[in-house]
Amino acid sequence: MEKIIEKLMQEFDIKKVQIESTIKLIEEGNTIPFIARYRKEITGNLSDETLRNLNIRLTYLKNLETRKEEVIRHIRELEMLTSEIELSILNSTLLSEIEDIYRPYKPKKRTKATIAKEKGLEPLSQIILKQSIKLGDINDIAKDYLSEEKGILTAEDAINGACDIIAENISDNPEYRKYIRRISYITGKVVTSAVDKDEKTVYDMYYEFSENINKIPGHRILAINRGEREKALKVKFDVDEDQIFKYLNDKIILSDSIVKDILTETYKDAYKKYIKPSIEREIWSDKFEDASEKAIKVFGVNSKNLLMQAPLKGLTVMGFDPAYRTGCKIAIIDDTGKLLTTTTVYPTLPQEDVAGAEKELINLIKKYNVDMIAIGNGTASRESEKFVSDMIKKLDKKIYYTIVNEAGASVYSASELATKEYPDINVSLRGAISIARRLQDPLAELVKIDPKSIGVGQYQHDVNQKRLEEALTGVVEDAVNTVGVDLNTATPSLLSYVSGVNKNISNNIVKYREEIGKFKSRNELLKVSKLGKATFIQCAGFLKIPEAKNILDNTMVHPESYEIAAKLIKSIGYDIKNVDKIKLSEISTRLGNVDTDKLSIELDVGKPTIEDIIKELQKPGRDPRENMPKPILKSDVLKLEDLKEGMELTGTVRNVIDFGAFVDIGIKNDGLVHISQISDKYVRNPMEEVSVGDIVRVKVIGIDKEKGKVSLSMKGLN
């Protein structure tokens, strides 16, 4: 473990005590959100992202050490372990290096080499490999190994069998493989071509394409991989084989002997048949894994930003799920998210009953006093937007609309959860409910959907699904636990992402609420079935009760710190029991002037905890999403034909990927801000400059009316 700790210290550039403390906390069963929020003094204030990455790396390094032990044990059992082999294994830093060393000792299927060994040709292979034959003909030596019984009928048969053994030994040599892998990586190029060059596909740019394997970006790796899988592309590697053959020649050919040509042919054969395909698979696999990890990270960051978008509370919202033939689905929900009514209207093709739809929706807007219309951004979205824009101009009250990302709404609509929530509502109408609720509280609604269906990444369906699920579960957990959850209104879906709470416990919390009534204090959680003290410690700080008598129950102050909070309040001249009866602004001002260093010593508690308690007491029930950009509210529509180069617009960032950001400027398709157009300065990673949900100023720099694509620039505007 000491070696692992040292490695983590180097990689994360953090102190030994931080690594050791974090590992101990994780091994004790504490969740990452809990450690990040309530154990800051112990970890040295490490962020949730750092803690998760550290945990992932810790798992890899533990697996690496376990594999080293397994390989050493197996080679020792074969009585073939030398101090050099053991040292090589112990010094390995990658699983691939260990597997290279282990390769010659692995149990093998019957190969040409093993068959040749069974026929007794190994001594002949050693004679050839030593290249010490001075006189005569190798064929004469090979005749000594002829055996009709073993199927060795000619000298050529014997030599071929011996060469099979040599080829396998060359292929299994870890030193050779390490060098060839390095040269292949340095000189290798990915070359792609079309399976059918006359067929138009989304992979057109890869029909005649090549790029150095060590420079090709991740998104192109994933695109090429998908193109090959869909049989649109052929992929091959070009490597500097002359350099590889020179190396093998220098290593294997010892003299200008009579077997030189045989050995030259053998090492070339070994490379082409065994080493080249294997190394190329390894390199492509490594590149794909790196690209996948980056895509997963991109997806995670985008998802978290989407989940953390500002809620629009206190509004009655009309959810508008656009469609053509089947009609636009409508759902109206009140300011608490309760469904008021649903309907279907047909303002789009083929019916185009604009007048009928307009009349019905205006009546509903007036009847339920609708404040806002949330339009899904799927099929028929822009036609629906035009209809809504024209309709609200005829109202005698000011009403706005906004475009909402509807990705995953159909998945939710047909889910078991949606059926349970709305058993009497048609599947097609549930999407409109989801769209409306996403505007009111994006986090509470989006947690009901499989994270990879949210649709704010790239190639999320191509990457390792287990890793994606793990990463996205972590992202959702971090978002939920950053915001906190109203214990008396949260759905089981939302509760299940709270630190320490699983699906069974989340259902039990809701069941308790339904049977006993609203929670009056956090301590009441201990009465919930299967929610013991250990779970209580993990979850209590993230569950808020706005109606609680104790104001601390509506903050992210953990119950274990209530005594400290009471002393803190007392230090500025107040009693915690009366805080809610006093002007909070007065307390907030006084708390803002306290000496946290001095208080930390007086109360014998870490400064981060003191600062967190002060922040919570200054604004009980605070929602951190309040500081996030609000969605753009609109009352008119924009068409592609309205755009002109040089026009400046305001838009919402919908997705951020390796090569730029997609921005919704109000037309059918989002415009692309290429990475080179994001800032006046050099941008290495778009995520360092923009996030999903950001409101940005953009300038139109290119319009492709045929493809419906718009190129945008942010240079000099933000």
For 181, phi and psi rounded to 5 degrees? -65, -45
What integer pLDDT is reported at residue 255 of this predicted model? 83
Q: Rounded CA gap, 617 and 565, in Å?
A: 9
pLDDT tens track for 25-78: 999 999 999 999 999 999 999 999 899 999 999 999 999 999 999 999 999 999
pLDDT tens track for 369-391: 999 999 998 889 888 999 999 99
pLDDT tens track for 202-236: 899 999 999 999 999 998 999 999 999 999 999 99
Ranked by mean pLDDT, which of 287-291, 617-621, 704-708 comes out on top? 287-291
Write the CB contacts of 362 (distance below 8 Å, at least 6 apart in sequence).
391, 394, 395
Stated pTM of the model:
0.82
Whether pLDDT at 585 is above 90: no
Helices 218-229 and 276-307: crossing angle, nearest 10°? Answer: 110
Q: How large is the average pLDDT for residues 157-185?
A: 94
3-state SS class at 351: coil
> Which tokens in the block code for residue 612?
């967190």
Q: Rounded CA gap, 15 and 17, in Å?
A: 5
**Hey, what domains does the chain have and what are their CATH numbers?**
2-105 (1.10.10.650), 112-294 (1.10.3500.10), 317-440 (3.30.420.140), 510-627 (1.10.150.310), 640-713 (2.40.50.140)
Whether pLDDT at 581 is above 60: no
What integer pLDDT is reported at residue 110 of this predicted model? 86
How many CB atoms lie under 10 A from the CB of residue 288?
18
What integer pLDDT is reported at residue 705 of this predicted model? 87
pLDDT band at 455 (very low <50, low <70, confident <90, very high): low
CB distance 151 to 157 below 8 Å: yes
Whether pLDDT at 355 is above 60: yes
Write the CB contacts of 515 (distance below 8 Å, at least 6 apart in sequence).
none
What integer pLDDT is reported at residue 5 of this predicted model? 95
Q: How large is the average pLDDT for residues 668-685?
A: 93
pLDDT band at 363 (very low <50, low <70, confident <90, very high): very high
Whether pLDDT at 583 is above 70: no
Whether pLDDT at 582 is above 70: no
Size of the chain, expressed as the number of residues it contains: 718
Q: How large is the average pLDDT for residues 365-370?
A: 97
Mean pLDDT, the chain, whole residue set: 92
Whether pLDDT at 556 is above 90: yes
Q: Rounded CA gap, 608 and 42, in Å?
A: 10
Distance separating the N- and C-terminal Cα atoms of the chain: 48
Report the run of H or E that residue 343 belongs to, with start and end.
strand 339-345
Of 588 and 611, which is predicted with more confidence?
611
Cα 473 to the center of its chain, rounded Å: 9
Q: How far is CA 241 from CA 73, 180, 182, in A?
A: 36, 9, 12
DSSP 8-state secondary structure symbol assigned to residue 276: H
DSSP 8-state secondary structure symbol assigned to residue 274: I
Contacts of 243-251 spanning 24+ positions with Cβ under 8 A: 243/183, 243/187, 244/180, 244/183, 244/184, 244/271, 245/271, 247/176, 247/179, 247/180, 247/183, 248/170, 248/176, 251/176
What integer pLDDT is reported at residue 666 of this predicted model? 81
Report the run of H or E that residue 140 belongs to, with start and end.
helix 138-142
Single-letter code of the amino acid located at 534: A
pLDDT tens track for 623-663: 888 887 788 778 777 778 889 999 999 999 999 998 999 99
pLDDT tens track for 300-325: 888 888 899 999 988 999 999 999 99
Q: How large is the average pLDDT for residues 436-448?
A: 92
Q: How large is the average pLDDT for residues 390-413?
A: 90
Q: Rounded CA gap, 313 and 545, in Å?
A: 18
